[in-house]
Structure 1
């Protein structure tokens, strides 16, 4: 006799599990704990088996009959419904693991040890805002270039060209991971380079040769804290990064060796690189040493060369120099970081060894093979170069100094 919803609801648990048949091998299993489970009994290749179809009332009578009907159809086609169920579950699990979002999270976890916590958070936030809502749940192997282009163009149309560029690069890295792990065959982000607008690079404002004397005169006349002026001068003479300068400590300066040793933790490196990187050595010219000796009279008893006036145990903020540039009338005309470009341009024009200049700038060699073999510090060459550079600055200030001819000095 076929079951009804009333008979199912009225079925009471007994001491032992019992079955209520519905016909055509479908039955309801009632357990001593009160559970009511749908089961379908079948034979495949001469072997008896039972297929679980769900729990009542989550699966109602009509749905249970439909599921039993699907199982009978599979049997008629020579398919084992129990084996097919396992296969479908595995496919669903693999599909969930192979979505763009799943692989993006895997890529993020793999790469984040190379990044700062803030950068890792920014990367994931950008994907959550701009990518995941549109293709996050899609199987990564099914995503086509046109589909990804449509997603990225949403960002482009909003005017966020830099973000769009970074998102394309991050998506490309995610697809490459999927290719390497056999979960897709191509990188649909790769061909989109020419289809997206290229953001215009905004270079740091740098002084040229003709502007340097005017800047130095303005620096000399600037009505400002003496420590701030000396910090600006030392930046010019060493063209280090402003963060390295603001964090500089007296223990890093060796007056006898005329050397400033910048520790890895103060350098512009990834967190992981800082753990193994060497310190950056900065040879100090006589002019730079004279500035440092004057600074000793101001802050020699403190840890930092440029202590913060309001919190003497902390270093001066790099923002101090930016504000000083504005007071000098160079807002939009010069940038503290631009001192590095100014020095690099003039030293290259004067014929100094480009490798020595790059080493002085602490730039990372992008060619990994070259970086592995070219670890020379060019120290003696850089000492002469930095002395020439300081003499050149002094000459532009109007001092009676003639820069050493580098070629003859070698």
Structure 2
């Protein structure tokens, strides 16, 4: 007789496992511990075999019968359902191993060591927040262009158009890595070129007029926050390095007696040398008394970590400056580049090398940290003296510092 739900519920465990049958080879096995497991007994190639169909009550009587019937259809077509199940499990494991997230994290692990930490953090955050929740678990070879577009539209819809373009770029990089490693046949994100509205790129806000720079410098000197942030504000215009490089600076890289700072540029992965003016050395010497025993020149609240990346811009806002339209920590670079060339007449190639930009001369010489070093040492001191004159209210007429 066929089983009923009542009979199954009333089946009690015994000292030994026993079976109650439902027909067509299916039975329910009740173990001494009370477990109830569906089994199918069948023969294939003259051998008797067993196939597990699940456990009750997770698999109901109705579902167990459906699984039994599916297995019997395979048998009718000459397929061993036990072997077929192992094949399907292996395929599922393979698909999981080649999911978008698995491939993306593998690509990221290979690329991240060559990137600046801040850039790597942004890339993985975009993938984790905007891509993995929707595409992460899917086999990368099965993802289509419309699937990727749906992800981009979600980002675009919240008004983050620039982020949408960067997500598109990162997806393309992952797909191309999947192609190179034999897990995808093409980059479907390439089909989406032009699908997003163009991003409006803007430059970092910067003050480049000498009179306004003078006001800014006086405001920086009047900052009432912590001494560490105050020093970072005062050094920003003097050194005009990238904000991330300044806030994560290590004392081991400074030679205050030799008036030099040597470090590895985060963006170009090249060694860089910053000549220190007497004004910069003075600020650093004062700061060394407070943080010199620490790893970072500008430690954060947790002294084991550097100052927050938002600290300088937050300080500028406290001083009344709009960091979207007037000045940012990065804007000190544009300020120096503009005035050093237009007001102090320093050659562009000298300025660009001090900015740690990749500059090839007419002989194709690659960037190196000591190129134009004598000119750069002189330029950094002239620049610091010029800023002092501006701050003191001295005339700001153009000066030929060549």
**TM-score, normalised by the number of residues in structure 1:** 0.69
In the TM superposition, residue 164 of structure 1 has moved relative to its aligned partner by 1.2
Q: Is the aligned partner of 1:215 residue 2:212?
A: yes
Q: Which residue of 2 aligns with 1:408?
A: none
Report the CA distance shift for 1:399/1:294 in structure 2 as closer, same or farther (over 3 A).
farther
Work out whether residues 28 and 38 of structure 1, in 8 Å CA contact, stay in contact via their aligned partners in 2. Answer: yes
User: Where in structure 2 are the equivalents of 1:15-34 lying within 5 Å?
Assistant: 15-34=15-34
Report the CA distance shift for 1:377/1:295 in structure 2 as closer, same or farther (over 3 A).
closer
In the TM superposition, residue 383 of structure 1 has moved relative to its aligned partner by 2.8
Work out whether residues 101 and 136 of structure 1, in 8 Å CA contact, stay in contact via their aligned partners in 2. Answer: yes
Inter-partner Cα distance in structure 2 for 1:231 and 1:132: 38
Q: Which runs of 5+ in 1 are unaligned?
A: 406-410
Q: Which residue of 1 aligns with 2:347?
A: 352
Inter-partner Cα distance in structure 2 for 1:44 and 1:242: 71
Work out whether residues 39 and 51 of structure 1, in 8 Å CA contact, stay in contact via their aligned partners in 2. Answer: yes
Between 243-252 and 151-160, the greater mean CA deviation after superposition:
243-252
Q: Which residue of 1 aligns with 2:175?
A: 175
Q: Which residue of 2 aligns with 1:239?
A: 240
Which of 1 and 2 has greater Rg?
1
Q: Which residue of 1 aligns with 2:100?
A: 100
Q: Which runs of 5+ in 2 are unaligned?
A: none
Report the CA distance shift for 1:361/1:68 in structure 2 as closer, same or farther (over 3 A).
same
Work out whether residues 256 and 281 of structure 2, in 8 Å CA contact, stay in contact via their aligned partners in 1. Answer: no
Inter-partner Cα distance in structure 2 for 1:24 and 1:251: 79
Q: Which residue of 2 aligns with 1:53?
A: 53
Q: Is the aligned partner of 1:302 residue 2:293?
A: no
Q: Which residue of 1 aligns with 2:141?
A: 141
Structure 1 residue aligned with 2:370, among 377, 384, 390?
Answer: 377
User: Where in structure 2 are the equivalents of 1:188-203 lying within 5 Å?
Assistant: 188-203=188-203
In the TM superposition, residue 18 of structure 1 has moved relative to its aligned partner by 3.8
Q: Which residue of 2 aligns with 1:252?
A: 254
Structure 1, residues 135-180: CA drift from partner, whole Å, max 9, x if none?
Answer: 3444322222223223312322332112212222232233234333
Report the CA distance shift for 1:50/1:348 in structure 2 as closer, same or farther (over 3 A).
same
Q: 3-state DSSP class of the match of 1:156?
A: helix
Q: Which residue of 1 aligns with 2:75?
A: 75
In the TM superposition, residue 207 of structure 1 has moved relative to its aligned partner by 4.6
Inter-partner Cα distance in structure 2 for 1:137 and 1:230: 47
In the TM superposition, residue 192 of structure 1 has moved relative to its aligned partner by 2.7
Structure 1 residue aligned with 2:395, among 393, 398, 402?
Answer: 398
Task: State the superposition RMSD in angstroms.
Answer: 4.9
In the TM superposition, residue 67 of structure 1 has moved relative to its aligned partner by 2.5
Report the CA distance shift for 1:29/1:166 in structure 2 as closer, same or farther (over 3 A).
same
Between 34-43 and 387-396, the greater mean CA deviation after superposition:
387-396
Q: 3-state DSSP class of the match of 2:376?
A: helix
Structure 1, residues 50-70: CA drift from partner, whole Å, max 9, x if none?
Answer: 222223343344433332222
Q: Which residue of 1 aligns with 2:334?
A: 341
Inter-partner Cα distance in structure 1 for 2:94 and 2:234: 61
User: Where in structure 2 are the equivalents of 1:90-129 lying within 5 Å?
Assistant: 90-107=90-107, 123=123, 126-129=126-129
Report the CA distance shift for 1:248/1:219 in structure 2 as closer, same or farther (over 3 A).
farther
How many residues align? The count is 377
Inter-partner Cα distance in structure 2 for 1:144 and 1:404: 59
Report the CA distance shift for 1:346/1:117 in structure 2 as closer, same or farther (over 3 A).
closer
Q: 3-state DSSP class of the match of 1:194?
A: coil
Q: 3-state DSSP class of the match of 2:289?
A: coil
**TM-score, normalised by the number of residues in structure 2:** 0.70
Q: 3-state DSSP class of the match of 1:195?
A: coil
Between 89-98 and 112-121, the greater mean CA deviation after superposition:
112-121
Inter-partner Cα distance in structure 1 for 2:118 and 2:62: 54
Work out whether residues 260 and 283 of structure 1, in 8 Å CA contact, stay in contact via their aligned partners in 2. Answer: yes
Q: 3-state DSSP class of the match of 2:194?
A: helix
Inter-partner Cα distance in structure 2 for 1:245 and 1:128: 28
